[in-house]
Amino acid sequence: MLGALLATLGPISMSIYTPAMPELVGAFNTTDSAIKLTLSLYFAGFSIAQLLAGPLSDAFGRRAATLIFVGIYMVGSLLSAFAPGIEWLLAGRLIQGIGASVGITVARAIVRDQFTGVDASRIMNLIGIMIAIGPAIAPTVGGLALAAFGWQSVFFLLIGFGLLICLSVLVFMRETSTPDRRRALPGPLLSAYAELAREPRFISASLVLGGSIGALYAQATMLPFILIKVVGLSPTSFGLGMLMQSGSYFLGSVVLRMTSARLGGDGSVRAGLGLLGLSGIMIALSVALVTPNYLSIMGPVAFLAFGLAFLTPHMTTSGLYPFPHIAGSASAMMGFIQMGGGFTGGLIASLIGAPLMAFGTIIPMMALIAIASYLWFLHASRRAARVSHSSLGE
């Protein structure tokens, strides 16, 4: 439960904010691209800071690192709430992303500290079910708060969420690792990342997540402008409409829980990637051939979210499995690659400018990257198995 609460920090901070994005264009007298950049900078802070949050949790403990970074997160939320201009909002979102980076990093690490194999996948699936609830409700809550109290209220809600996490960590969280302060020194830190970078199974598994979950984050920079400005939904309707995405992820997690024993880890990933590929094709065709409407946009997104629920648990545990001694660093680098995918996709979308065209191009390409990376993962796994068998034979 605590791992799920931590893991939702990043997605909720992103999704609760999206209904306000079109209104912020007028509030700050700026452009669509500048407001999209607030989300891209959040991704940048989130992804890069994980490279520090993970080693710090190895060095000083999961508990201490969580409290420090959530404190940074609340500073960013305050700065965003009282931003006098777009530059301050951009800075606040960057700082918010830096602080939020600890959530998924520590959540994955505490699972790896205590579980491996099937048990780890089962726990990650359970966390996935819980994660789906927060982001499912968040856009609706954000849209209602926006309509009732204005855009600043969204950031006040996030400050309250940060306080809830701090209180939960102080009361309920026990230390699951053995802190080693040497892990924070530049030498061991760089050595840990070099060890991860040399392992093809880890890099390929991370790229599968970077292409798939990254696509979910990247499209968050486009969907508010497509559904509100092109399709014509109100911010509140947009928040309610995003339930199709989160509901599909929740449903996929529940179905996976019922079928995982029969499908197995590899079977679950293949089913998920099949749905991901199908969603990419549907998105490209719907943008090219259909006049945009709610179902033409969100129908393919629902397939993508359902497929993500199938592939995420096993790919995560497979990537982290070889690194119990540096679980925090491994979780951090995996998250960096994953969020880096979302940041890159969102940045390219800002450069393209037209959100519908960006959506129909970038999301299918990211799905293709995820599928190609899984083929690399299979090749690397077979090669590692041959090396292991040869070593045992000798």
Would you write out the chain's pLDDT as a tens digit for each of its 394 residues?
787 788 888 878 877 877 777 778 878 888 877 887 887 788 788 878 888 887 888 778 888 888 999 999 999 999 988 988 888 989 999 999 899 888 877 887 787 777 766 677 677 767 766 666 666 677 777 777 877 887 888 889 899 989 999 999 888 888 777 777 777 677 877 888 888 888 888 899 989 988 888 888 788 778 888 888 888 888 778 877 877 887 888 888 888 888 877 888 788 999 999 999 999 999 999 998 988 899 999 999 999 989 988 888 888 888 877 777 777 778 778 878 877 787 788 778 878 878 889 899 999 999 999 999 999 999 988 887 777 666 555 5
Report the SS3 class of residue 173: coil
318 near 205, Cβ under 8 Å?
A: yes
Query: 271-306: b or e for each residue (b if 16 or more CB lie within 10 Å)?
Result: bbbebbbebbebbbebbeeeebebebbbbbbbbbbb
CA angle 279, 317, 1 (to 5 degrees): 90
Copy the structure tokens of residue 387. Answer: 């090396």
- Reported as type and span, the H/E element at residue 245 is helix 243-289
Q: Which residue carries 């194999």 as its tokens?
A: 117
2-173+192-386 homologous superfamily: MFS general substrate transporter like domains (1.20.1250.20)
Query: Could you give the CA distance from residue 270 to residue 279 in angstroms, rounded to a whole number?
Result: 14
Copy the structure tokens of residue 226. Answer: 């497509």
214 near 366, Cβ under 8 Å?
A: yes
DSSP state of 72: H
Query: Could you give the CA distance from residue 170 to residue 351 in angstroms, rounded to a whole number?
Result: 43
Nearest to 323 by CA among 128, 62, 111, 122: 111
pTM over 0.85: no
| pLDDT for res 116 | 65
